[in-house]
Amino acid sequence: MENFPIINLEKLNGAERANTMGMIKDACENWGFFELVNHGIPHEVMDTVEKLTKGHYKKCMEQRFKELVASKGLEAVQAEVTDLDWESTFFLRHLPVSNISDVPDLDDEYREVMRDFAKRLEKLAEELLDLLCENLGLEKGYLKKAFYGTKGPNFGSKVSNYPPCPKPDLIKGLRAHTDAGGIVLLFQDDKVSGLQLLKDDQWIDVPPMRHSIVVNLGDQIEVITNGKYKSVMHRVIAQTDGTRMSLASFYNPGSDAVIYPAPTLVEKAKEESKQVYPKFLFDDYMKLYAGLKFQAKEPRFEAMKAMEAELKVDPIASA
């Protein structure tokens, strides 16, 4: 199996820029995932985020998770559990309006650190979107503009901990899915692994690396690139030892953003008779995704296509 793509972002600034852009292009076309090193977020910032996230879990969430497991009898399950995940999570919203002040149980230092980390991740996400534009032959800023809507993008973080699990063969840390949105930046535990992606019908480990940021593409990037870049199924395998920390930040279109394939990519696709994806409101897609997250993405795209076809029917003309 070929090696998981690891991109050194510092190499964009010198003689190796073209080669590095080629690596990003290959990762987007063939993996839907890559791992960034030297991405510009200081290591000490990441160390503080990790320390405070793990401390918050121990202090505020670990006992609650144990009580949930006990109440559902999960430690004694004999058959595969298909309707829940072995994870303890909370969500932070950063854009268009932050809710960090309102989330209970966070101490002031943690709130401040997470605000700072979110700003750095937002900047990195926007840099990455422009690198994707460059590789796709789209004008700089195209993807950011496509995501904008009237109030700007949606940006938020899912903070997860995956405690040791007695039955990892029967309960997933997180069931297989593709991400609904745009681009995802993940700061994951470098000691406890578990994240896997599906490539060529095989589950491949995403290697835990200290101070790296894992990037993966969501369904909206697949639509805008007309399938040139694809979102990829991934999952988390629960482990019997150690608690895995995962901080996934989702840079998504605004709720009222209209998503559709970039016209220049559609022209190329038409020449090659490649599929053209539907046009839809991001919020409509998210409503559909909410109930179908752990299923294949293709029926979601088909449902959006059907909605688009209905919208195109002029009621007067067809009366």
**What is the chain's pLDDT, residue by residue, as a tens digit (319 residues)?**
568 999 999 999 999 999 999 999 999 999 999 999 999 999 999 999 999 999 999 999 999 999 999 998 888 899 999 999 999 999 999 999 999 999 999 999 999 999 999 999 999 999 999 999 999 999 999 999 999 999 999 999 999 999 999 999 999 999 999 999 999 999 999 999 999 999 999 999 999 999 999 999 999 999 999 999 999 999 999 999 999 999 999 999 999 999 999 999 998 766 666 778 999 999 999 999 999 999 999 999 999 999 888 776 544 443 3
CB 222 within 8 A of CB 261: no
Set out the domains of the chain in order of their start, with CATH numbers.
6-313 (2.60.120.330)
For residue 135, the tally of other CB atoms under 10 A from its CB is 18
CB 184 within 8 A of CB 216: yes
| pLDDT for 317 | 41
CB 215 within 8 A of CB 172: no
| pLDDT for 195 | 97
Calpha distance 300→289 (Å, rounded): 7
> What Cα–Cα distance (Å) separates residue 287 from each residue in 225, 254, 270, 282, 298?
22, 14, 30, 9, 16
Calpha distance 171→237 (Å, rounded): 8
CB 96 within 8 A of CB 255: no
| DSSP E strand stretches across the chain | 6-8, 33-37, 88-95, 154-162, 174-177, 183-188, 195-199, 202-205, 213-217, 234-236, 244-252, 258-259, 280-281
Calpha distance 293→178 (Å, rounded): 7
| pLDDT for 273 | 63
Strand-pair category, 6-8 with 33-37: parallel
In this structure, is the dihedral angle defined by the CA atoms of residues 206, 192, 184 and 80, taken in order, positive or negative? positive
For residue 127, the tally of other CB atoms under 10 A from its CB is 14
Secondary structure, 3-state, 187-232:
EECCCCCCEEEEECCEEEECCCCCCCEEEEECHHHHHHCCCCCCCC
Give the chain's radius of gyration (CA, Å): 20
- pTM for the whole thing? 0.94
Q: What are the residues whose beta carbons fall under 8 Å from the beta carbon of 137, sequence distance 6 or more? A: 264
Calpha distance 173→65 (Å, rounded): 13
Omega before 96 cis (within 30°)?
yes
